[in-house]
Structure formats: structure tokens, C-alpha cells
Chain A
Amino acid sequence: MYFVRRLIFAIPLLLVISALAFALVHLAPGGPFDRERAPASPEIERNLRAAYHLDEPVWKQYLRYLDGLARGDFGPSLKYRSHTVNDIIAQGLPVSMLLGALAFGFAMGVGLPVGFFTAARRGRWEDFAGSFFAILAVCIPGFVLAPLLILVFAIKWRLLPVALWGGPEHMILPAVSLGLYYAGKVARLMREGMLSAIQSEFITAARAKGLAEAALLFKHAVRLAVLPVVSFSGPMLADMLTGSFVIENIFQIPGIGVFLVNGALNRDYTVVVGLSLLYAMLLVGLNLIVDFAYTLLDPRVKYE
């Protein structure tokens, strides 16, 4: 019931977001056709504006836009004439999602073991080394890491391609550059979760009953410790999809982030609003899924 209500609450939220983005982009001066070479004649420009309904009042354009959205149509791109926003999403989203999924896998694959291990070895040198790695990872932005990786692995050693998107060998450097920050985040969350789980009473009870330390950590503490990571994973995935502009930019990956940044620079209204809305939908949807997964993992959690 709670989730149905959340789902219904998401609709006005998305409406507000779309209205906000629509208003912001439209209120700014300068039109999408300003940077074209001088148009052949004023009539042509007038016809262009009329074709895209830019001559109507803003509220009317917004209603027209909503009407399209209700039918699953994000409208035409004003800059890439032959494309609709739906085309751009269909083209870019799978690429961005694949990149995000790989980075997510990397973050979890590295972060969870590091967090687990540092907590299990608390206070020893392994803990210090692992924790330092985690905090360092959080402090290296993708746009510093990616060029360094390119210099070392692609140019110096010529092991991997410098850029572009194709086979699996193209995906390693972008996924690592995007995922390392989150690996550090996950490791820190996991370590904290493990530490507080180890201190909880049911663990003390199990230890008093003579359960082996390994079983204690692997079977009992982990289930509790992983919960903060789970609740972080929704925003994390959304963040990876939105934060991938820079990585896509550096590696020339034809994902969705490139279109958004270019859209913002070129005042391509429909692309910017459409993609913002898409990101908001992803964020809302992912958070909902994560909260739902949370109730499955932790039966104590009940949403009213």
C-alpha cells in the first residue's frame, strides 16, 4: 500500500520537475536558432518557429509538451533536426546504462570485499591500508582518474584502446574511472555497517553460544551490514547515470550525457527538459525499488 502511495506521489513530483525545467529553459533569452548562420529570410525563421510552436505562449507550449508526454512522446530535438528526443534516448540510454551497470558491478565487486575485510581486521595494518584506499578513492574525481588511466594503459603500455565504444576492451577504462569513487563509498559504508553489526547483541549472543568467528561474520553480520549499502545503491545508480557526462566526454562514448551537455549549451529546450525528466524518473524509480528491496532484506522494516 505504501509503495502504491509513493508511486502516486511521484506523478505530481515529476510534473513539478518538468514545469521547473521547462520554465527555466524558456525564460532565458536566446533561441535555439540564434547560432545558426543568418537565416535566408525572416520568413524562414518565422516558419521554423511556427513549426516548433515557439511562437505560442509558454504555458501553451508546456501543455502541448505534457500532452505529448502522456502519449510517450518527448517531442522533436530542435538542434538535431532529423532526431526526436525519443530517438536520442533510444540511442544513448542503452549505452549509458551499460556503462552504469559495469561501473556498478565494479563498485560493488571492489567495495564490498574491501569494506568487509577492513572491518574484520579492525585496527591492524590491513584495516589502515584498506581504509586509506577507500578514502583516496572517494577523493579522486573521474576526470582526473580517466586521463591518468588513458596515459598509462592506453598510451604508454598500449594495452587498451584510448577511447570510443565497441568491444569489451573499450569498456574497462570507462567503467573503472566511473566506478572507483563509488567503490570507495561502498567500502566505507560496508566497513561502518560491519562494525556496528559486530557490536550488536545478537552477534554477542551467537558468539557466546560458541559459533565460529567465520560463520559469525559471513552469515550473520553481513546481512545486517549490507543494508546501508543497499539503501545507498539507488541514488548511486542514478548518480552514475547522471555523473557519466565527464566519462562519456573523455572517452567519446555516445551515451546520453553528451546529448544533455550539448543540449544545455545549444539551448535545445526539448532535449534538456526531456533528459532531465528521464533522470528524475530514473531516480524516483530506483529509490522505490531500493526501498522495496530493503523490506525484503530486513523484515523489521515496515513502511506504514
Chain B
Amino acid sequence: MIERQGAAAPCQPLHVSPGRRAWRRFRKNRAAILSAWYLAALLLAVVAWPFALRISGGTFARLHDPDRLSNAQFAPPGAQHWFGTDVHGRDVFSRVLFGAQISLLVGVVGTLVSLVIGVAWGTVAGYVGGRVDGFLMRIVDVLYSLPTIIFVIVLLTTLGEALKQTRFVEHSPALAGGLQVILLFVGLGAVSWLTMARIVRGQVLSLRTRAFVEASRALGGRPAWILARHIVPNIFGVVITYLALTMPAIILYESFLSYLGLGVQPPMASWGTLIAEGVAQINPLRIYWWLIVFPGGILVATLLALNFLGDGLRDAWDVKSK
């Protein structure tokens, strides 16, 4: 109702908040909306599937238990196993959804880690300026010139080994697996904040000299207040946009590392380990395409959706990438 009124009166949009204007532009982007629906559906399926299994019970749950071995080896996709079964007769559909838990979790948490570091670093550098700015940005430059993925590999193997040998992990394999996942969060987040810091710094630098910030300063606003009240809300659009573009990169890194056997360790599964299992079954006699096509397809679709979403957000907020 309100929007229709806004469209009727041409002077009305002047009073529309930036967030609302962005939302209107975003809604017109069909690819981005479709991607948002896909991601919502995926999320719902990932969350609901374990409950569905527990509630339905009986043969259905036994058939789709992602960890239960059975004699139905390499069954092609059909009515019983929608995505087929793997070498141990496990249901691939279930395994993909359970693997998605890890992949998405690492993506979300890793992105949040990069968000916190990047925004804090960029705001401080941009707002304080001067020598602090030079110092902080020089560090970013140095880290930029590191080969990222190698840095993560070295970090994961060394810290992983160190943690594995501590006493309380030795007694609990579940804890060891969990720690490996936490390491993934930290490692991937720690290398993904650089661009965020640069973009945020640039925004803060230009915001700092704007009249409303100056006015707040003249009225006696403390730096902390100005940052929280004026600067951070104004970089929101940029940050949201860049978050949507960081997440696919982190999901990709996670599956890459897990594929190599450096990320998530069995019995835990992620999309990367599932694809690796599929590749291990490649042989010249039989083609088990479903072991690669389904986990790979879901991974590609998710990355695609996140990229469309990020592009849509960027257009909606009208963010210049440079």
C-alpha cells in the first residue's frame, strides 16, 4: 500500500531510506530473487531433513541414514535413492544434505570472522588515518602478497597436528573433528578479510570528511559515538554486498581443502569430501556419474546463487567495486 502511494507521488522517493531504495531495486532483479529463493529452500532442506528422518522413522529413515552401510552398492538414482548410493551403499541424497551442514556452516562462520576483522581493521585505518592507517594498510599489502591457500594449508596442518596431541582431544575423536572445523573457520576467515578491510577503509575515508560527520564532531561527538552512529550504518550496504561475495569464495576454499584431505576429516562429510569420494570411484569400466554430478551440482548451484545474490546486492546498493 505504502509503496503504491510512493510510486504515485513523484516527490515521495526523496524521503525513502537508502535501505528501502536498495530493496526496491533488488526486487526487480529476477536472477537475484531466484537465487535467494534457492538458498532459502536449500537451507530449509538442510535443517529439516534430519528432523524428517527422525520423525518418519522405520525403513525410510534406515534407507536414508547417511552413515548406515548397506548392500545396495552403487545403486543408480531411482525412486528409493533419489541421488543413488555410494561404494558403501549409503544414500547420496542424505549425504549431500548432511554434508551441506558443514559446508554452509564453514561458509557462514568464516564469512563472519572475515567481517569482524575486515570491518574493524578498515574502520580504524580509515578513521584514525595518518601513521596508523599507513601501518595497518602496509600489513594488508604484505598479507596480500602471500599465497593465500598455501598459508591456510600450512596453518591447518601445523595447528591441527598441535591440537591433535593435546590430552583432551586424544580421548574424544568427535572433539578432534570439531576442532578441525573450528580451525577451518579461523584459517579461512583469517585470509579472507583483506579486501573487506580495503573497501571499508576507502568508504570511511570519504565519509569522514562529509558534513554530517563534521557536524557531529563539532557538537562534541566522541570518535566511538561517531563511528557507531554515523560511519558504520553508512557502510552497511557495501559490507552486505561484499559479504555475499566472500561467502562463495570461502565455501569454495573449504571444499577445495576438504577435497585434498586437509579440511574436514571423516566420518564428517562436506561437499568437498563427497566429491573426492566420487572421484576415487572413477574407473574405466563403470561410470558412477551420480557420485560426482549431484554433490558437484549442488555445490555449483549454491556458488552460482550466492554470486547472483552478491551481484544483485551490489547493483541495488549501487556500490562501486573500486
Contact = CB atoms under 8 A, between A and B. Distances in A.
Interface of A: 13, 16-17, 21, 24-25, 27-30, 135-136, 138-141, 143-144, 147-148, 150-151, 155-156, 162, 238, 242-243, 245-246, 249-250, 260-261, 264-265, 267, 272, 275-276, 279-280, 283-284, 287
A21 B157 CA distance: 12
Interface of B: 142, 145-147, 149-151, 153-155, 157-159, 161-162, 165, 248, 252, 255-256, 259-262, 272, 275-276, 278-279, 282, 284, 287, 289, 292-293, 296, 299-300, 303-304, 307-308, 311
A148 B282 contact: no
A162 B284 contact: yes
A138 B145 contact: no
A249 B303 contact: no
A242 B275 contact: no
Nearest to B248: A139
Contact of B145 (A24, A139, A280): A280
A147 B145 contact: no
A14 to B, nearest CB: 9
Contact of A139 (B150, B261, B307): B307
Contacts of A276: 147, 150-151, 154
B260 A141 contact: no
A139 B172 CA distance: 37
Given A147-B292, A246-B256, A260-B150, A140 B282 contact: no
B162 A29 contact: yes
B260 A246 contact: yes
A243 B253 CA distance: 11
Contacts of B300: 136, 139-141, 144
A147 B278 contact: yes
B71 to A, nearest CB: 25
Given A139-B300, A144-B296, A246-B256, A151 B282 contact: yes
A230 B158 CA distance: 36
B147 to A, nearest CB: 4
B148 to A, nearest CB: 8
B145 A284 contact: yes
Residue of B153, B155, B256, B308 ringed by the most chain A CB atoms within 10 A: B153
A13 B146 CA distance: 9
A280 B147 contact: yes
Given A138-B307, A162-B284, A250 B150 contact: no
Given A143-B275, A249-B260, A264-B262, A27 B158 contact: yes
A275 B153 CA distance: 12
Contact of B165 (A17, A29, A249): A29
A12 B293 CA distance: 46
A283 B145 contact: yes
7 nearest A-B residue pairs (beta carbon):
A144-B296, A28-B158, A139-B303, A279-B147, A139-B304, A264-B157, A28-B161
Nearest to B284: A155
A148 B287 contact: no
A284 B141 CA distance: 11
Given A138-B307, A151-B289, A30 B161 contact: yes
Contacts of B304: 135-136, 139
A157 B311 CA distance: 38
B287 A144 contact: no
A233 to B, nearest CB: 16
Contacts of B149: 242-243
Given A151-B289, A260-B150, A24 B260 contact: no
Residue of A280, A284, A287 ringed by the most chain B CB atoms within 10 A: A280
Given A162-B284, A246-B260, A279 B150 contact: yes
A294 B303 CA distance: 32
19 contacts: A24-B155, A25-B154, A135-B308, A141-B252, A141-B256, A147-B279, A147-B292, A151-B292, A155-B282, A162-B282, A242-B150, A260-B153, A261-B262, A265-B261, A265-B262, A267-B157, A279-B150, A280-B146, A283-B146
Nearest to B272: A143
A144 to B, nearest CB: 4
Given A151-B282, A267-B161, A141 B150 contact: no
Nearest to A30: B161
Contacts of B165: 29-30
A110 B282 CA distance: 29
